Amino acid sequence: MEKSRWIAWGAALVIFGVLMVVTPKIPQSEEYHDFADQRKLLFGIPNTLNVISNIPFFFVGIIGLVLCYWKNYFQLSLQGELWGWTLFYLGVTAVGFGSSYYHLNPNDATLVWDRLPMTVAFTSIVAIFIIERVDEKKGTISLLPLFLAGVLSIVYWRYFDDLRPYAAVQFVPCIVIPVMAIIIPPMYTHSSYWLWAAGFYLLAKVTEAMDKPIYKWTHQIVSGHTLKHLFAAMVPVYLTLMLAKRTIELDRRSLLTIWKVRLVEVKERRRFKSNSTETSLDVQYSAVSTTNE
């Protein structure tokens, strides 16, 4: 088991190294800082809506941190879970500060404090998933390496102006977590909330990419980047709701298995309904025939 773990980590590092060699460098574009909505709407705050739309992160992060420790409200039974969710909510809370600070004066130097807490949240979620779906011990041990990988991706980008490691830290969890949520049996109920959270994050990325078109379509009421913050804040909201509602899953089946079973049930109901209709028509036809004779 120990040997297979080292082989897995080694394979991951080799794949990452190959990708770093074969893919071109991705520098940080200066155009990234040129947001559509740069209005001063409140107390002279630059980029007002892009700044204050980060407030939800702060409140959700604080609430999550409190509930992690207040009478064990989330019923976190494993030590690794508690550490992982604590790290996640610390990252979410820090996003509220870091992203607001960045949008007050958008540039590469302030962008560090926007992205750093996000990497903390991303990497802690991956560790939590390993704890819940794969192995408690492995997931707990992975907390520190994943956290360091996230921090190093920011350092690498800042010093070498190359976003490739950061892109991996951000987008790999976006692919791996929904896939794991679907195919690996969960420890807890309400597993579908992971997919809702992934959906909101996808919406956040879409609205971020359409910052200026959305600002134009809404007649300069709200920009895509402001909506991005609000959609992204729904991710920790849904995960918090999941933690509050979930219980131990006694019948551990993956979402994929559940969907397959439901699909079969739907097909069986349709087949039964079709057969019932045909039988009813046959009876009516027989009755009509007998009456005519």
The stretches of the chain forming alpha helices (DSSP H) are 2-22, 48-52, 55-69, 79-104, 108-129, 136-160, 164-183, 192-209, 211-217, 224-245, 255-292
**Residues in a beta bridge with 4:** none
Give binding residues for Zn(2+) as ranges.
Answer: 103
Give binding residues as ranges.
Answer: 103
Q: How far is CA 272 from the centre of its chain?
A: 40
Q: Is 235 exposed, middle or buried (0-12, 13-18, 19+ CB in 10 A)?
A: buried
Distance, in Å, from the CA atom of 259 to the CA atom of 39, rounded to the nearest integer, reads 47
Distance, in Å, from the CA atom of 110 to the CA atom of 135, rounded to the nearest integer, reads 37
Q: Are 99 and 114 in contact (CB under 8 A)?
A: yes
Q: Are 187 and 139 in contact (CB under 8 A)?
A: no
